[in-house]
Structure 1
Amino acid sequence: MPEIIEIEFHSKYLSDFQLSRLVQASFRKYTVAITAFISDAVIIEDRCLGVFFDQLQEDDAYRTANGGIICTKKIQRAWKEGRFWILDTGEGNYLVGSFKRGGGRRSFLELLRSCERLKSED
């Protein structure tokens, strides 16, 4: 049975650290177009959950919904460019600005390890 993970997002306001990471990430050039920047990222069942910024999609009022919660499609590939991780979901490329405290980075490292195990089995 899968482990149950409870996640709480108390506000959409960013800490100084999160803001500085997103600003640093936005100034950099990448090898792919970035669909959105994700802060407080955590990986759950091969998907990334977090707070997104600069998402290209628009809401019903034709505005971008910066600071909303996103759950991406299944992560197909992950790689690092500079200091940031990029996640390819097939529908877009998401840049991880920061991981959720208390397990976000650990969940990502578990995803990377599971992918390495699958590659070695092939």
Structure 2
Amino acid sequence: MAKLEKKGRPLPADYLNKPDLWPESAFFFDAFFRLSPSRSIGMGEGRIPFEAIDRFAIRSGIATTHEFDRFERMIRAMDDEFLERRKPKGKDDIGGAVSIKDGAAIRDLLTKIAEKMEGPADS
């Protein structure tokens, strides 16, 4: 980005309109991206296995049942949304993945995940 600024070129709109992330969401995004490769892809893309989520939680120091339940709910919500967006919508569609450069799509994705996460209040 510094090179663009030095040359007097405008910064990309997606860079300037990055979604606001909650500070604690970085842990969940990191966990999701680390866990994603553990999914099965035999007859189609599967969900992240419980065992992988459990093992990641243990290694990350998630100790209480309450903390684990919250962690698993967040990873499941992210995974469900990821898989939903990857489903082909028609014969010419190869999947609805969101580009990391698409700030508006990321914002929509985070909003959907937040809506799915609404449930029993965490105390």
TM-score by length of 1: 0.30
Which of the two has higher C-alpha Rg?
2
Higher helix share: 2
> Which has the larger strand fraction?
1
